Structure 1
């Protein structure tokens, strides 16, 4: 009984395990070609020669398109690496991703197996990105250095890689140390055990010149990195003809070495050098995989020498891409700027024969991709435009064939608006003024207002939205000397900019009051006074004239009354 119960439980467990364990097609090695094999220098530029001890990169363009649309997750290809090269063994170099063109989606994972005797193997394993895609291809690059026992310095050397039994080769010259001639300053960077630091070395006065009041400076510029103060070591040395150190003794840097406040530069005072040679080593902070450059300068009383150097830590990486099969991809862009991708546009895709429909919405990258579809004729219709855009009413008809994809770029016109601005003057008009249109506080357009355009202008054909949000448009006037500026109105009704002349300008009649239309053809205060004398304006208008005489009479009356009151009281007493 117990035995039957146990067997029953085991059977149930195995059945359950079958449900939860995914069953996938077995992975396989796929045919892949290397279409280009290059060797790059430490700055990742193609090299025709490499120094024997330098780090460099293998760059390989791979192409798996011969496999058609039958690639699947788990499929892989292997690359056999040259035996004359040594490959890093740390995890950042042995395991890394290959990314699609968006820089985010992983198309494959690479694993490097370095051999202790030199050479090695790379296996690239595809992710589910390749499912239902064809024309899959990309690039992979690896850092390496030479096995100096296996190369010929000063000669052309040929290196080979192998994929699917097919060999690709590259020939470059390997250089080595040569006798130095008249070298005063040389500098180079190298790897530190700590990946967040860089080592620097400097050879000073190899040619044994006499230098008066020698000063060495070095700077990291605006890289954001800093020198590490306690890492500096100075040696007085004897160099051989090729720059190798024959002997050395430590020299103190106390009272000789100083740093800038942020430690991005230093100064080393070497004083008088009568044929003395030095070797200087130090460290700086470093951001992995970046190119860090700096500049050393050696000055004496009569001469100056400059040497630039750089350092980049070795790395590995790759990329790839492929076209979709049996899918429809929509790319939504701004009609006036094809670089601007638009999200949240909604489409309905319809199979003409069956009537079956599918709804798609564009993502942050302005793209929408259908599920795998049966071949046939389809229509694509936009049902909702992105915020701030006019819906594209054109219905597209496309034919989808087995083993291929349909990619359509569909544009939208932005919703446009306008902003009107009018100029008014209280005082003597200037010849012209400049008015700026601001979109959310940023200047986007300018216009010159003058008599020719009747002191008014409308900014037309400007977008109403940006990134799905309504733009706030305002205006500003570039300063007009001797005037105070006041801006009224709003974006919908238009803005009015009124300039009032300041009293200190010396206009004894004060500012001219504009009462006419916005062309500037108003009636001045002086003209109003003249009309008032002939009874041609109302009392309310006449009161806007000059009050100087009235004010003087009132003041004279008050003073006279005070004098009379004073005399009256004296007389009474």
Structure 2
């Protein structure tokens, strides 16, 4: 083979290696999961179903979500998207994200009402703290009545994991001739402003001699609003649907009369006919109030038309508008669940208490004979650390001892309660191979609840062997586990000598044997009943009675 050909083959093989490596790298990347209402929404409804809505109304909606009973474990970046029912729509003031928080106020995600008539929740890394997590999303701002809603009662169906759920929504077309709406922003100088839009002659009636009045001091007792003279713009407009309008051409100033002062304006359109008008103005607002999340800015506009009647009154309507500095409005979200737990197992030498590196354990969930984690090896500090365990009962079991030590086959049980992330501290002990010694493990449980108890005391007595009659005593660690080690080969009895406070002594006697073939005969469980018990119709207190002579 020529040198040139070898060089070409080398380049080709190198390129293939890079390509394969890239494929392997990409295969390990885990994509975020995208869930829908059918996966996680347990219930959904319109909050106020007794209210009459117009096509411009805001509709409050609540979603409840839950992973309990599913195989879903939410991760950072996972999304939950709910499509709004056809009778609902995202309003123009939607699109502002709001937080989803847990019971402690930690943000576990954010939600937003989208312009495509969906609501999306995006979870962050904090949600991974929880197992069987559930919560609610309340949307009081950003959802309105869509064009698909009919005048009268509408049955609005929300898809959920439990099937469609129906809410009632009664729609009454608006008969108002004027309405007003404001949007907060900043101008070219960075000043905080509200742009107000007044729709005049909404019903497109044949109105003559129409007058529109604006006084920003109306309904503004704190005088937060400062009218911007010269900001008035008048457009013709028309409806494109029950809920949407479009601005048309700018109205020439020769077709109306505008009078302004420091508090507002007066517009007279003599020949308004059946034309709807969109009139926009601006007001400045204080910067501190624009961002405090509490202040609500309000004002009022009026419309009159025609000539005074026999009573001397001209037909008149008014419309109020309001804008809040809390951009999320009444939108909120919550979520919480059982906290995932952590555990640390420390391996030590039974005769010298120093830590042991290289011990190998498997981790089991009680009731499952297949290990959920295998090959867990103690580090240089003799520790194995496991995090993000769902609430439940677990145990470690040693599969390979450190070099120079006996295998300790005793199970080391522990409980993840779902109440705390503070790591559970466990200890495993091994005896050197050269010593004819063994060990046992005792756990103390509440007879009714199964909760582990500390505070008991036990006496272990050798009944056959080289040290007959010798006794060993023990007390519990913080996890209700009692380690008894350095037991020479022989046969023993275990008896409880002191019960935990508030519990009845377990007087049973257990027997076991330590031998070369079985240096770790197992985990011994003692159950205690409480001294006092109750039921709805009867109560009793049981006490240990000591006979007197």
TM bracket, shorter-chain basis: 0.3 to 0.5
> Larger Cα Rg: Structure 1 or Structure 2?
1
TM-score in terms of structure 2 length: 0.42
**The structure with more helix, counted as a fraction of residues:** 1
